[in-house]
Chain A
Amino acid sequence: MKIVAVTACPTGIAHTYMAAEALERAAKSLGYSIKVETQGSIGIENKISQKEANEADLVIFAADVAVKEENRFKDKAIFRVEAQKVIKNAKAVIEEAVNQLKNK
């Protein structure tokens, strides 16, 4: 299972980065590989390439504002969630996203 995720929040100072950390920790504990791109006050970091987007099994947007360059993921089903929900329980979010994927 290859996951890519994008995190973003209105001020881009705190929640963006906490959500990214939460997703990385949760994916690791569940045995999934993940790449998390942050779109915060520093700009875009750890950017997901078009190739990585194409190859991903699952795309998660943990964002409270519009995600930049969303067209990278235009052929993908995107699991959208508030950043704070990921901070609260990233493991549950990933499990829910994976289940939704399996039931398609």
Chain B
Amino acid sequence: MVIDQNLIVLNLKSNRKEEVIKELAELAFAQGKITSVNDYVQTVLDREKLFTTGVGNGIAIPHGKTDSVKESMMVFAKLNQQIEWESLDGKPVDLVFLLGVPEKDANDLHLQILSRISRKLMDDTFVDKLRRSQTKDEVMDILNSI
């Protein structure tokens, strides 16, 4: 599944963008979603260099398209502290959606779920709900409601 309880982290302690990406990639690796942490992280960081993925409103959506991703996936993390992400609105980030898709994903449904989540990030009510959520079950309910 694209949305997976094991890919949700509450209270992440990392306070640097690169550390956050690496830590979440390691979680994806542990869950068998990616085959190489190094390759995936490098792809994500290369993408970061093109344009920031700090899209404003405290949200970052780092992402990478590479064959070291087995199937499309999303890791969601709430950070313990707001961190710098060179955001479009200049504000620090406390919600991170790390997305990964393979070069060729035959499953359009996965991509559609990711695209729907991306769209919902423009919805302040949705974002507020995620920010207020306290448990993984709550996060799952919110993400599955879209």
Chain A residues close to B by CB (< 8 Å): 9-18, 20-22, 25, 38, 40-42, 64, 82, 84, 87-88
Contact = CB atoms under 8 A, between A and B. Distances in A.
- What does DSSP make chain B's interface, helix, strand, loop or mixed? mixed
B114 A21 contact: no
A38 B122 CA distance: 16
A18 B55 contact: yes
Q: How large is the interface on B (under 10, 10 to 19, 20 to 34, 35 or more residues)?
A: 20 to 34
Interface stretch (B44-52, B77-85, B137-145): B44-52
A87 B47 contact: no
Pairs of residues from A and B, 9 with the lowest C-beta to C-beta distance, nearest first: A21-B119, A17-B118, A88-B88, A21-B122, A17-B115, A14-B118, A14-B61, A42-B111, A11-B65
Given A13-B63, A13-B99, A88 B89 contact: yes
B107 to A, nearest CB: 11
